[in-house]
Structure 1
Amino acid sequence: MRALAITGFATALLLAAAIEWAARREGSRIPSLADVCAVVMRYEVGPVPVGRIGLFGFWWWLGWHFLAR
């Protein structure tokens, strides 16, 4: 079961790297991760920066689940 999880995470990482590589090619219509993060960071509902709060929450969740022991 552990090997299956590691294989899944490795596959996801390789897929993300391939998409980022394709996004950075000349003339590509695929947005890079930086472009996606920039759009999310600008999202607001009234005076509340919902995108920033959501991104912060995602990083908190990621750290809590993978880095906390």
Structure 2
Amino acid sequence: MSTTRIVVIAGFTSAIILLVAIEALARRPGSRIPTFGDVCAYVMQYEVGRVPVGRIGVLGFWWWVGWHFFAR
């Protein structure tokens, strides 16, 4: 295995562990940290006029993720 591959795998693993830790801290009673679901709900309700910009942004993000990680 190349060094670059090991660094990338370690980076993704670190990011996942960090996200899980933040979510665990957010779910404690009395925590002021918003959960991932709360953040998604806030982003999804954002509109400019009658255009659901938040929903379009989330759709664009998932399109980007699918294109870069799942399309081969």
TM above 0.5, yes or no, is yes
Regions of 4+ moved over 4 Å:
none
Length-normalised TM-score, structure 1 = 0.98
| Alignment size in residue pairs | 69
Q: Which runs of 5+ in 1 are unaligned?
A: none
In the alignment, structure 1 residue 30 sits paired with structure 2 residue 25 = no
For residues 23-62 of structure 1, give each alpha carbon's deviation from its aligned partner in whole angstroms, at most 9, with x where no partner exists.
0111100000000000000000000000000000001101
Aligned mate of 1:20, from 3, 8, 23: 23
Q: In structure 2, give the amino acid aligned to 1:33.
A: F
Over aligned residues, Cα RMSD in angstroms? Answer: 0.4
Tell me how far 1:6 sits from its aligned partner: 0.3
Question: Partners in 1 of 2:26 and 2:67 — Cα distance?
Answer: 29
Greater Rg by CA: 2
Question: Partners in 1 of 2:20 and 2:68 — Cα distance?
Answer: 22
Aligned mate of 2:63, from 49, 52, 60: 60
Q: Which runs of 5+ in 2 are unaligned?
A: none
Identity, % of aligned positions: 65
